[in-house]
Amino acid sequence: MLFSKMFIPTSKETPKDAVLKSHQFLIRAGFIHQIGSGIYNFLPLGKKVLDKISGVVRKEMNQSGAQEIVMGFVTPADIWKQSARYEKYGKELLRFKDRKENEFVLGPTHEESVTEIIKSYVKSYKQLPLNLYQLHLKFRDELRPRFGLMRAREFVMKDAYSFHADKQDLEREFANMEKTYRNIFTSLGLDFRVVEADSGAIGGSGSKEFVVLADCGEDTIVICEECEYAANIEATKRFKRTEPENPPKASFAKFYTPGVGTIEKLADFFKVDEFFTIKAVVRKAIFDSSSGKEPELVYFFLRGDDELEMTKALNAINKMGADALELVDASVGEIENVGLKPGFIGPYALKNITQARYIVFDSDLKDERDLICGANEADYHFVGVDLSSFEGLVYEDIAMVKPGHQCPHCKGKLGYKKGIEVGHIFKLGQKYSQALGAVFLDKDGKNMPFEMGCYGIGVSRLLPAILEQKSDEKGCVWTKASAPFDLSIIISNTKDVEQNRFAHTIYEDLQGAGVDVLLDERDLRFGAKMADFELIGSRYALIVGKSLAGGSVELIDRQNLQKQDLKIEGLFEEIVAILKRD
């Protein structure tokens, strides 16, 4: 391509709302153009990178045995009603009607659609397994679209869905997809981690996320310093905590603790480690509007120095059958209304006082003694609390794992890292096949719902993810597989006949050999052309300048901006070799 002919609207101005460098560079370098909140147009450079990334994804998916399809972006609401997600998905789902009053949604994901395809054609176990995927638009009416392509409302996803006759075959494909995803992100040149992810109330190891390490990432992942263990904070487990010295040995008794309404004051009052105190966290569970259920207070107990992890907490009550959508703050008034004293809440008689249906204890407290907790009476606490003396307590892992806690596998030290979720693989089981009545005849001639898996990659999110990990302060740094061009040839002085002739010749030779090359032959200052190279981020720049007269040109590596002189004899072969190597 000739720079002068290509539509690359670069600009020096940083968009007001762009806080991340990837967002700033993608706009300033003319990759994307914003047309609405969370809605972006891809300009030629952006489309080029999107195609390169898509190409890597497509190649690996095809190699894994999956087959590409394209499903309608506009989806009839009917199938979303059948799966009950029409109501449950909340406001991220854009619902609308056509001129005949038929209801539709803009697909935020396509489990229902793909299940309809399989339901129509697959009747026997002999037609299984199948894995169908697409690279297509999604729409999610995100509450806070932000960071450019990172959290957009309309975005490109690679979504794959697999169908199986039994659980073992689903396991096999899940492993196959994990391997395929590892290949994809490795080919893209990314530093990433595969982490155990939240699998909702079902639990188990049914879901893994692929996270690109970057400081700006919205996801916190927990990594073991000793072994391979890595998990999203929402799903991280930990080894049972080690008890500090001097547990407060005491017989069970009620103590007058005036004004001691926080864990800090409580530990201080009794001169004990917060570890031995019990913290109560009261939240309000919100239910789906169609369920007719009113918001309800739910109760969690943890060690005083632990924090409640909200996703774990929600999963815990849903495992008890709550079917809640989210947990929100409960006000002091709401807590007092049920007869409790904030700051003095404890497990004793809690059920009787509040009629609570959902009370969960963190598993680290299981059958622990020598504890101190609120007495459900203003200004009083109990000491010498022995939880093993209670019957029927529900214990679940609901605490947030903190740096320094121990790995559940090897007891190694756990630490935090920030990352960007770029992929997610999930065992769905029979959730959608059952809801939509998608069945096949198994080996024994019985009707069985399909076992399903789903596998997503945020293809358009990968552009900012790559940039957040690789870029420097001057502009975009891409990876080998994702860069818009392998090489920019910059003519230092376009008035110089020799420089022009030489640059055009090597440009045509390289282009003929299939190298993706951009010739910057614009009649501009050299500095401006260099700045554009640094902003756009071709992998290398070849500077054809004054040194040409002495028989050499300069090659700049965009990754580290290191320069090397190359002789003009054998230049073509040398460049081809360098581009292939890195």
User: Which residues here bind ligand ATP, judged by CB under 6 A?
Assistant: 109, 140, 142, 151-152, 155, 157, 421-424, 456, 458, 460-461
If the CB atoms of residues 21 and 151 are measured against ligand ATP, the closer one turns out to be 151
What is the nearest approach in angstroms of ligand ATP to the Cβ of residue 383?
A: 43
Reduce the secondary structure of 178-196 to three states and give it as a string: HHHHHHHHHHCCCCEEEEE
Query: What are the DSSP E strand ranges found in 9-129?
Result: 32-36, 39-42, 67-68, 74-76, 94-97, 103-106
Could you tell me the smallest distance in angstroms from the CB atom of residue 415 to ligand ATP?
22
Minimum distance from CB of 260 to ligand ATP (Å)?
39
Nearest residue to the partner ligand ATP, using Cβ? 458
In whole angstroms, the minimum distance from the beta carbon of 159 to ligand ATP comes to 7
Give CA–CA dist 404/390, Å, rounded. Answer: 31
- Minimum CB separation of residue 133 from ligand ATP in Å reads 12
Q: Shortest approach of ligand ATP to residue 456 CB, angstroms?
A: 3
Give the orientation angle of helix 167-187 with respect to helix 44-63, to 10 degrees: 140
Radius of gyration (Cα) for the chain, nearest Å? Answer: 29
Task: Say how far apart CA 396 and CA 134 lie, in whole Å.
Answer: 38
**Chain centre distance of CA 424:** 7
**Nearest distance in Å: CB 189, ligand ATP:** 17
SS3 state of residue 518: strand
Residue number with CB closer to ligand ATP (213 or 422): 422
Between 109 and 433, whose beta carbon lies closer to ligand ATP? Answer: 109
Looking at the DSSP bridge assignments, the partners of residue 299 are 282, 359
Q: Closest separation between CB of residue 50 and ligand ATP, Å? A: 12
CB of 96 to ligand ATP, least distance (A): 19
Q: Which is nearer to ligand ATP, 26 or 297 (CB)?
A: 26
Q: Cis omega (within 30 of 0) on the bond before 129?
A: yes
H/E stretch holding 47? helix 44-63
C-alpha 271/C-alpha 266 separation (Å) is 8
Residue closer to ligand ATP by CB (options 374, 423) is 423
Least distance CB 169 / ligand ATP (angstroms): 22
Nearer CB in complex with ligand ATP: 154/396: 154
Q: Torsion-angle region of residue 154: left (phi > 0), alpha (psi -120 to 50) or beta?
A: beta
- C-beta of 463 vs 503, nearer to ligand ATP: 463
Q: Which is nearer to ligand ATP, 157 or 491 (CB)?
A: 157
Nearer to ligand ATP, 324 or 425 (CB): 425
Q: Which one-letter DSSP state was computed for residue 15?
A: P
Looking at the Cβ atoms of 155 and 300, the one nearer to ligand ATP is 155
What's the min distance (Å) between Cβ of 26 and ligand ATP? 13
* Cα–Cα distance for residue pair 456/209, rounded to 1 Å: 9
Residue number with CB closer to ligand ATP (50 or 422): 422
Give the helix ranges, DSSP H, for 233-324.
263-270, 310-319
Helices 497-512 and 571-581: angle between axes, nearest 10 degrees? 50
Query: What would the two tokens of residue 286 be?
Result: 């919100």
CB of 38 to ligand ATP, least distance (A): 7
Terminal C-alpha separation, the chain: 22
DSSP string, 184-228: HHHHTT--EEEEE---GGG-TT-EEEEEEE-TT-SEEEEEESSSS
Q: Is 576 helix (H, G, I), strand (E, B) or coil?
A: helix
- Residue 556: beta bridge partners? 541, 563
- Closer residue to ligand ATP, CB minimum distance, 36 or 339: 36
Cα dihedral 264, 265, 271, 273, rounded to 10, equals -20
The one-letter code for the residue type at 478 is: W
Q: What span, in angstroms and rounded, lies between the C-alpha atoms of 393 and 302?
A: 13
- State how far the alpha carbon of 445 is from the alpha carbons of 21, 125, 442, in Å: 58, 9, 5
